[in-house]
Amino acid sequence: MNREQALRTLGLEKGAQPDDINRAYRTLIRQAHPDAGGTTAVAARITEAYHWLQRAGTEPPPTPKPAPPPQPTPSAADDASVLLLPPGDVFARLVEAGHQLGEVSYIDHDAGIVQITFTAHNGIVCQLAATVVSMPSRASRGEARVEFTLDPLASGEAPPIDQVVARFARIFQRTSL
């Protein structure tokens, strides 16, 4: 039973308030109760509708909005970051995006690792490692989990990893195979 069916069973409109629901229930159950000459089935249906509305409250549930298409969403720690990517050939697209960010210096398809050497905006040469993590629960929701680490290859400080991963995500979005 849903809200609309419960309200219809009690003869009420969409915006019915708790007092309206209580009043309608009492009126109908007096008429439909087996002790008053009604049937058990009708009384049970009225009671079921009343209890459903009591549990659900008076406000209709919010209308669910359609889910937006999956977007890369970075989340960062100090030296690591995670990106949830839309499904598809994620590994091949990581390699392609890596070529656009810098030089792909290492690929291990079996382990799901791509390492990219690039020069950051601050002039420091860095290495970004992207690892596709197999997570069946995420795949069923249309997401692939990619974990990133960032290391400077020269003296100096690497830029914040969340900035690098966000830049990489923008490049990734533009890639297609």
pLDDT of residue 114: 92
The average confidence (pLDDT) of the chain is 80
Q: What is the DSSP letter of 175?
A: -
| DSSP string computed for 85-116 | E-SSSHHHHHHHHHHHHSEEEEEETTTTEEEE
78, pLDDT greater than 80: no
Q: Which of 117, 93, 97 is nearest to 105 (CA)?
A: 117
pLDDT of residue 56: 77
* Predicted structure pTM score: 0.52
| Exposed e or buried b per residue across 1-14, where buried means at least 16 C-beta atoms within 10 angstroms of its C-beta | eebeebbebbebee
92, pLDDT greater than 50: yes
For 17-44, how does the pLDDT look when each residue is reduced to its tens digit (9 = 90+)? 888 888 998 888 888 888 888 887 788 8
For 106-142, how does the pLDDT look when each residue is reduced to its tens digit (9 = 90+)? 988 878 889 999 998 888 999 999 988 865 555 455 6
Q: Is the Cβ–Cβ distance between 94 and 107 less than 8 Å? A: no
Q: Is the Cβ–Cβ distance between 116 and 127 less than 8 Å? A: yes
Residue 127, H or E segment: strand 125-133
Give me the percent of the chain exceeding a pLDDT of 90. Answer: 14
Which domains does the chain show, CATH number per domain? Answer: 3-56 (1.10.287.110), 73-174 (3.30.530.50)
pLDDT of residue 76: 45
